[in-house]
Amino acid sequence: MPTLVTDAKFFNCTQSRELAEKIAAAYGSKLGNVITSTYSDGEFQPSFEESVRGARVFIIGSTHPGADHLMEMLLMLDAAKRASARHITAVMPYFGWARQDRKDKPRVPIAAKMIASILETAGATRIITMDLHADQIQGFFEKPVDHLFASTVFLPYLRKLNLSNLTIASPDMGGSKRAYAYSKALESDVVICYKQRVKANVISHMELIGNVEGRNVVLVDDMVDTAGTLTKAADLMMERGALSVRAICTHPVLSGEAYERVEKSKLQELIVTDSIPLKKESRKIKVVSCADLFADVMNRVHNNRSISSKFIM
């Protein structure tokens, strides 16, 4: 008996409309019709305005705080499940709350695990995401997770820069594995920053492990939030004799005074994806789209083809 291949339909959460349109266009399709009604007290209700019965549904939306972004994804998953969609894939370029992936002190939640469970309860039968804060978050899910790497889009960009004396750097110890992977792909040296925090987003001390004198440095991280670590690392490396410092960060959270810090820092360029829409423009921030990567993987998933070729790292 031939394998049944159902129709694929694409829908977006409100915050990811622009990226979803790019993904659908790269796939060769269009976004489906979904509307969101909002009550005066802030409660909202998404509604699919077309049939999804028997279809493979891709719901595209990053879940960066506030909580409304996550809530919208959950409501859309539930609506698709109750509308008898055959397969429901939550496409989450940025998986929010991922920094809470363990108990780092008593009486705190493991939010990443809780959200994984809620997504599955809401109706997700598959998750597609990119550059999780910690790889082991995949293990919090019982359903299949396709964990993509932004290196697929960043490495071609870095190679086009044709930087001599290239050194890859991690802004903290936790990102050393990612930095080593990039350095292997680019055949470059690697250095690591060691930092101590007073509290979340506040660094008391930073030291550099390795030599950057006379080198063009590229810092690599999964996200940039307040940009405190990133800009401090860039300034430290320039003080230690680096020729230039760039940074590639997959998810541009960019909260608080991040834009101002980036502008005032010694960073020559900050390269990010469009997993989260920028709040404003900056002359130092370059956006490289991840739409083609997601469209290709979604096409392969829909047609039951391997996606292993998309994993550069």
The partner residues of 45 in beta bridges, in order of sequence, read 37
Q: At 243, give phi and psi (nearest 5°).
A: -75, -40
- The owner of tokens 């993904």 is 23
**How far apart are alpha carbons 13 and 20 in whole angstroms?**
8
* Cα dihedral 110/63/223/273 (nearest 10): 160
Report the C-alpha gap between 138 and 127 in whole angstroms: 9
* Rounded Cα distance, 8 and 299, in Å: 9
14 Cβ contact list (under 8 Å, min separation 6): 36, 61, 69, 72
CB 179 within 8 A of CB 222: no
Identify whether 22 is a catalytic site residue.
Answer: no
CA distance 219 to 85: 42
User: At which residue do the structure tokens 């409309």 appear?
Assistant: 17
**Between β-strands 244-252 and 269-273, what pairing exists: parallel, antiparallel or unpaired?**
parallel
CB count in 10 Å sphere of residue 187: 7
8 Å CB contact between 41 and 64: no
What lies within 8 Å, CB to CB, of 123 at 6+ separation is: 77, 78, 80, 81, 82, 85, 88
Q: Does an H or E element contain 166, and which? A: strand 166-170
Query: Which one from 195, 279, 284, 310 is the annotated catalytic residue?
Result: 195
Task: Find out whether 224 and 249 touch, Cβ atoms under 8 Å.
Answer: yes
Among 176, 200, 165, 150, which residue's Cα sits nearest to residue 313? 150
**Residues classed as catalytic:** 195
